[in-house]
Structure 1
C-alpha cells in the first residue's frame, strides 16, 4: 500500500509463533489493522503497519509469513534491531527472554511494546522503564483487560458514581487446564516448569492495573499460592514435575478502604457465566462484570432476603439483575490498545500504559509471592 497519505511503520514482532502472539497480536490486531486499510491518524494520513516476524524457528516463521502473505521474517533479532526501517519492537516471548530483548531494542532506539510481565523481578522491570525514558523512546505494556467490553462498562459505572462508596471487589478467574496425559493441555508445559512462571506472575500484573485503574491504588496484599496438580505431561507425552503455582488466593486492601478478594486458578471447573468475573458491591449498588457482560442491581431495587435454610428460595436471584447496555460496537481488546499505542508512537501525547505501569504489576506479583512464602501481609504503596 503506497501513497502520499500513507505512512509505513515496520514493526519487529518477536514471539508471534506462540498462541497469544499469533492470534491476538498478529492476526487480530496488526493484520486486522491492515485489513481495514491502516490506522487513521486524524490528520489526513494513515499509518500502515508492516510486520517483521522474529523468532527462533525458521520453519515456523516461514510458514506463518506464507500463510498471511507477509514478506519479512528473520531468526536474527540483532539484525532486525539494526534495521533502520524498523520503528517499533514488540515482544510476546516467554518472560525469561523478554527483558534482555527489550534492553537491546531500547539501546537500538526502537519504540517498544510488550506483553506482561515485562521482567522477572521489579528491579529489572524498573530498569527497563528508566532505560526507555532516558533513551527517549515511546514504550508500552499490554493491559488488555481494561479494553474488554465488560470492564469498560464497569469503569463507566465507577466514573458515574453508580456504586456510592465501594465496599468490596470479588474476582474469580480461571478454568481447568488438563494435565496432558489423557487430554492435551491448553497451556504450554513451560508455564509449569519454572517457579517464576506460575499463575501469580502471570495474573497479578493484570490485577494490579485492573484494580488501580478502576478503584484506585492498592495498599496491601496477602496471598496464598498452591501447586494443586504437581505432575503434568508435556507436548511429547512425557511426565514432568510441575514447579510453578497453578492457583493463588489473595486479599488486597485498597487505599480507599475497599477490600478485594481475588481467586486465580488453572485447577478450577467453571460455574460462572464467563472465565473472568468481578463483583463490585457499594452502598448504592452492585455490579457483576465479565469479559463482555455487566449486570447491575441498584439499592432501590435490592430485594430483602431473609435467611431460612428450611424454606426454598422465593425468587431467582440472577433474574433480579439488569444488563448494562453497550455504548456501541466493541472490537478486540488487544487491537484497541494496539491502535492507541501506534497513535502514541506517531503523534505522542499522554500514555498511561507504559513500562512504569508494567513495573508496578511485576512488583505486585513479587509481593504476593513473598506474602505467600512468609505468611504475612505486604505493604504495596508508599513502601
Structure 2
C-alpha cells in the first residue's frame, strides 16, 4: 500500500473508532493531526481530512434518509457537502514545511473549525476528547489537549502520543461518569417521530405520568427531551400548570414557539404557578431546521439561530448550560457556556431520525466528555 493510501486508511479507522459513541474512545481522534501533518501533498492532506470527517459523520446519510423518509441520495449529497468546510480548511492550511509553522497552521485550522462560521459544521473536533484525557482539569485541560494536538503535528509526535496515551489510560482506569445534581433527573423516551407531533391529550398525559413517576422517586426538577411538548400553546400551558398543581416539581421540556418568520426551538420551564421560556437554541440543525437562505429569498420558515444568546440560564438557583441536540456535536456552544461558569449541563435531544446510526451515542459521549472536563454534573434527556 502506498504512503498516501495508508494515511487515508488510518484516517478512516480513526474517524470510525474515535467517534463510535463510546466516550472513552474519543481520544483516538488525537491521531488525526499526525495523519494530516505527515501527508506529502495538499491533495493527500485533503483526502486524509475527508476520510476522517466522512468516517466520523458516517451516520448522516442514514439520518437524513430517516428524517425525510427518502432514499440515501439526499443524505449522501448533504454528507459530502458538510465535509467541504472541514476538508477545505485543512487542505488550505496544510504545509509541507515541518516544525513550528506546521503546528501553527494546524492551530489555525482547529480554531476555525471550533468557531462560527466554519464551526457551524465543525463536527468530530478532536479537542472534544480533552475531557477524557484530562478530566476535571477545566480550561487547563483544554489548553493541555490543544498543546498535545499541536505536538502531534511535529517530529515529537511519538513522545506526545506516549504522554497523551498515558493520561488516557490513567483516566480510563479511574473513570467515573458525571454526577447527577441532587433532586434532578432526566427522562429518556422511545416515542420515535411521534414526539412533538402527537398533540393529543393522551400524549400529554403520558408525559405527565412520566414526570409524576420521577417526582415519586424524589425528583424535584424533571427534564424531558427536545420537542417533548410540541408547539407551545395556551392550551398546553394551562394543562401542564393545572396538572402540576399541588406539587413542588419543576419541568424543563423542549417545545417550539412559532413566530411570523419562523420558529424557535426552546426549553420551557413549567411549574404549578407558571411557565416561561428558559432557553432558546443557539444552533439548530443546519438545513433540516436552520435555513437562513429562506430569509435571503424573502421566504419564511425554519428555526431561528440565536448564536450567542443565553449561554447560561438560571433555574432554581443553578446556572445551567443548556445544549439541545446538534449543539452537543460542535465545540463553540459549550465553550461559550463555560465562560459563564455554569453549575450544571443539561443536554436534551430528539433523535428519532438517527435510528440505525450512532449519532445519539456520539452526542451523549460528547456531553459526558465536556461535563467531565469541567467537573460539572450532567442531566440528559433523549428521545429515540
Answer whether TM exceeds 0.5 for this pair: no
TM-score when normalising by structure 1: 0.26
The TM-score with structure 2 as length reference comes to: 0.26
